[in-house]
Amino acid sequence: MNIDLIKNIFSRREKDAFKISLNPWRDWFIVIAFFVAGLILVIVYMATFFLKVNDDNAIFVIEKQEQSTETINRRTMLNILNEYQQKEDRFEELKNNKPKFIDPS
């Protein structure tokens, strides 16, 4: 058995074996690489979306069939409007011709 092999296995490894030390050039390269990759993905997505919109393939519109719904009864609506007109006339009459009250004092 070789003792040097055993010493190498259990000996202290290099201080920065995984290359985790601070290295600004590597760190900025990683940041810029991710930014450029993201920018390329966004540009490709926007270009395909633009081409689909130009070809009218991006947005599908399904036309609804018209449905008949009940409308307001015209006679009832005219009756309600007449009641409000009467209230308005009564208000104007009371505003212009003040009622005469006897002063209790």
Output phi, psi for 103, to 5 deg: -75, 120
Structure tokens that stand for 34 in this block: 């991710």
**8, 26, 10: which is closest to 18 by C-alpha?**
26
Q: Sign (positive/negative) of CA torsion 79, 81, 86, 91? A: positive
pLDDT in tens, 8-51: 666 665 566 566 677 788 889 999 999 999 999 999 999 998 88
Distances (CA, A) of 98 to 26, 90, 91, 94, 101: 91, 12, 11, 6, 9
Round the average pLDDT of the chain to a whole number and report it.
Answer: 82
Angstrom distance (rounded) from CA 18 to CA 26? 14
Residue 86 clears pLDDT 90, i.e. is over it: yes
Angstrom distance (rounded) from CA 87 to CA 73? 22
